[in-house]
Structure 1
């Protein structure tokens, strides 16, 4: 079916806002869901229709999903109630549902050590307990393709670059900048030899557009264009701070204490999350432009 109207949750966010910007640029009609009423006017000024409410409001979510040709969820990776609301609203319509997860589903509990294993979409995921629900929800979305929905899942890797929507900043790099500010130089957790695949926010936004237009129902897609170790990122932050390549190694327990979030430290800063987007290049016509996160590590 022809897609003209797109409903985006998290439209004021880093990823959702960038997707909305690119879709508007291509002539799509975009409706964005936001919690704060004061943000509605800002979204409308960007050219989209804004709806104020929560993903917990099943009536609102159902109405907007049914009014749209496609739903893109960037608001939550982990809300079964919301996901079922969208699926129930779209059953037997042939409409599109793109759910966003995260590549930490591939994460190992590596404590800053390197893994040589690189995932592609054909390799079964064996997630740690902390990510089993994420994977179960992804599978639930993909199975909805058997119920008359063009459902797909995208797993962004470490995202960097300046967002095109209201929110300009990503998650992981600012955390590393906070640590660097505290220690006076770039910081890695433990040895920092662990590696993450990464992707520039503009390439990621284009990935969603290509997926909307060419993605295959029931498909899981990894989004990456390059990779770097956390130690190499720490070195680049140090260079930007005028410290040469000197870095500081922080024990994982200290990092957990500093951020107050063990899950984020273990699976966001001390794990390996390596994958390839060859499938997207071959099937979606996706051609990313940026390939080095180290070129975009900004000064603290």
Structure 2
């Protein structure tokens, strides 16, 4: 009996926070997983995770010809994009699409039509009201896109990934903020709380009823796999939100931080207009947003399994601190913003 060909996936930015989680999720699911990275120094770490590391980027496509020179056919069933360039989103997007078209052309010649999973974010919708506000409703995939100005280019370009039906199918993903391990921007809250413990009070310039809807990075990564393994006819051409089972309020999270760090005088919520030392946290603590992901759950059977941020805060704190002690690049990136 012949053995079926193992499914293959290429993840761009496979050494990044979300990209690495996605690549490892595909490995766990039994896929042959390739990771595209810019820095050669990151390749050994990927190999240790059973990810086949490839040096290159959407802006430097020489790796494609190098693969061909190895006299092997490199066909990817799924291609995952987890990179963006905030300062010049359009150029990076166009280069990424060009790369995907090159890889899809190779796949098409070998009888495979790839599925592209393209990463955007839930902030594309803009904010919702505060917890308890009149008429409060979550963002769904049908909600209007009203991003903050710095995301306008992403919103206008990302949707165009669905326009390349001649070569590949595509899905656009919009995840909430993510947390866990070396952490995303949520790690800034640990640094904020640690300083507050010395000062004796946790000061936050945001409304305590701000909605903080986030997803553990592992759950987010598993959503990519769920879409890749779902019925192609159902998911292709769709947009999917990725979000946790429920949202938390800023008050919930702040109280959990106070308890964990034993902050003597608790939390003090300051008017948003009052500038404080840690105002770089405003996009994290002051962006009220509730995001619905029922469509993803219905179409793929995906559901999150990890604890909410406030519920597992001690575990997530210890993981973040351990990653910092190991001089994890992602922690350095997070701390540079505080």
Within-5 A mapping of 1:1-300: 4-60=7-63, 67-76=75-84, 78=89, 79-90=92-103, 93=108, 94-108=113-127, 116-144=136-164, 146-162=165-181, 169-184=182-197, 185-214=201-230, 216-225=235-244, 226-243=246-263, 246-250=266-270, 252=272, 258=278, 265-290=281-306, 292-298=308-314, 299=317
Structure 2: gaps spanning 5 or more residues: 68-72, 322-338
Q: Distance in 2 between matches of 1:256 and 1:51?
A: 43
Change (3 A) 1:250 1:123: same
SS at match of 1:178: helix
SS at match of 1:139: helix
Deviations 1:94-119 (A, max 9, x none): 21111111212123398x88762311
Q: Residue 166 of structure 1 corresponds to which residue in structure 2? A: none
Quote how far apart the aligned CAs of 1:69 are.
2.0
Deviations 1:118-144 (A, max 9, x none): 111122323233222111122111223
Contact 2:9–2:32 (CA<8 Å) still a contact in 1?
A: yes
Q: Give TM-score, length-normalised by structure 2.
A: 0.74
User: CA RMSD for the aligned pairs?
Assistant: 3.0
Contact 1:109–1:267 (CA<8 Å) still a contact in 2?
A: no
Contact 1:11–1:34 (CA<8 Å) still a contact in 2?
A: yes
Structure 1: gaps spanning 5 or more residues: 163-168
Quote how far apart the aligned CAs of 1:7 are.
0.7
Count of matched residue pairs: 287
Deviations 1:204-250 (A, max 9, x none): 12111001111611111111122112232111111101237821335
| Bigger relative contact order (CA 8 A; separation at least 6) | 1
Q: Distance in 2 between matches of 1:256 and 1:80?
A: 36
Q: Distance in 1 between matches of 2:152 and 2:6?
A: 33
Q: Give TM-score, length-normalised by structure 1.
A: 0.83
